[in-house]
Structures are given as structure tokens and as C-alpha cells.
Amino acid sequence: MIQGKTAVITGCLQGIGRSTLDIFAKSGATIFACSLKKTDEYTFHLSELYQRYNSEIIPVYFDMMDNEAVKSAAREIQRHKKNIDILVNIAGMNHDAMFPMVTMTDMQDTFQVDFFAQIIFSQYIVKLMQRGGNGGSIINTSSISGLDGRAGQLSYASAKSALVAATKTMAIELGPHKIRVNAIAPGMIDTDMYQNVPSEIVSAKVQATQLKRMGKPEEVANTILFLASDLSSHITGQVIRIDGGMGA
């Protein structure tokens, strides 16, 4: 579906980002795999993907809390002089707290990683898409919290909601350049994010879905793959829920 295309993916260290990295490598893309840090396990995993699929994977490490590091990483990608076809913004963070207990620091940190850094990074990568002249596809990762709101997630929901608005605006502005911009809104996905959530809360949320189960990271990654490919060539400015029917 994306054979021969070049993709930039953030948040590749774990969860949805790791699954997206795996599926894109299997699909034959060249990948700039962005993550916060380098670990032995992650380095071994990248090597395994190359050996299994012969897909070129270029690791890029940076902290999205640091705008200068974000810009430096984007310039590093530019130095490879590859035309970028796909950008997948997945990296994120969350500070849960009920509204009266939300601190300004928590809000600023969450917006920095989940919104500001992603916009800055996208501005640089879009230039590489435009340089190629063939358009491209950007997929932003929002959340059902950004669409519906969630108790205890004021900072996270607000940042993810801002990303939805940015997605729709970017789609309008970049459409004339043949660049599509969409967002996904995952619900209960079986990632590390839920490891410290009490089991009774997880169970209650699962029962609130139509499918009565948590989603798998690879199910989200498959939707991202669809939006990145030409199979979705007439889809832009949309937000796709991946929540097992939680909002139904």
C-alpha cells in the first residue's frame, strides 16, 4: 500500500507508534523512526525489522519537550534529502488530574508535547512534502478524549481537541498542494498507558464499548496505514474514531 514511499513516524518507542513502525516496514516504506531515546531493545528491534523486510529505517532521537531539539531533528531529516510522502504524529503524553487539581505546569507540558511540538515538527516536514511536488498524507493522533471530554483529563483532552482543530485547518491550507491531513481518535487501546489504571475502571470503560474489548495497537496502525496510502486518496480533514463503538 505504501511500497517505495518515505514516511516520518514519531513515538516509535512503544505502543501505537511501535505497531505503526512495524506495519509500515512490512509494507515496504522507507522510515524515519522518531523516538525519545535510544535503548538496546529498540535498536535490536529496528535491526530485526530491516532483516525481516529489507526496509530502510533511519532512527531519529529527540525530546518533544525541547523545541530546539524538535527543529534540530527536522533539519536532520532534511539533510537526508529525501522527499517525504507521509508524516504520522503519534508521540504524546498525559497528565491526569481532576479539574480543581490541574496545575499550569501540567497543562503547559501536555500542550508542549501533544500540540506545540507537533505543529513545529509538521511545519518542517511539510516543506519536504511540497518540495517533492507529489503531495502527501499527514496523520495526527488525537483521542476520543479530545472529541467527547473525559473526567480527569482536562489537559490531555484540551490538547487533543486543539490538534483536531489544527488538522482541519491544515487540511484546508495544504489541500491545494495535494497534501491530505487527517486525524485518528483512539479509544481504549491496550498499551502501556493503561498499565497503572485500576482494573475496575478499565473494565467499566470496556463495557461501555459496543465491541466489549480493548483495541489493539495494530488495529490503530492499520487505520493509519489506510490514511497514509492511496486507498484514502479522497479523504482529508477528517477525524476517524477507533474506539470499538464507545461513542455509539
Instruction: Give the residue numbers marked as catalytic.
Output: 156
Grid coordinates in use for 43?
Answer: 535498536
Secondary structure element (H or E) that encloses residue 87, with its range: strand 86-89
Residue 32 CB coordination number (10 Å): 25
Where do we find the cell 497514509?
228
Rounded Cα distance, 110 and 105, in Å: 8
Rounded Cα distance, 119 and 126, in Å: 10
Q: What are phi and psi of 35, to 5 degrees?
A: -150, 165
Rounded Cα distance, 121 and 59, in Å: 16
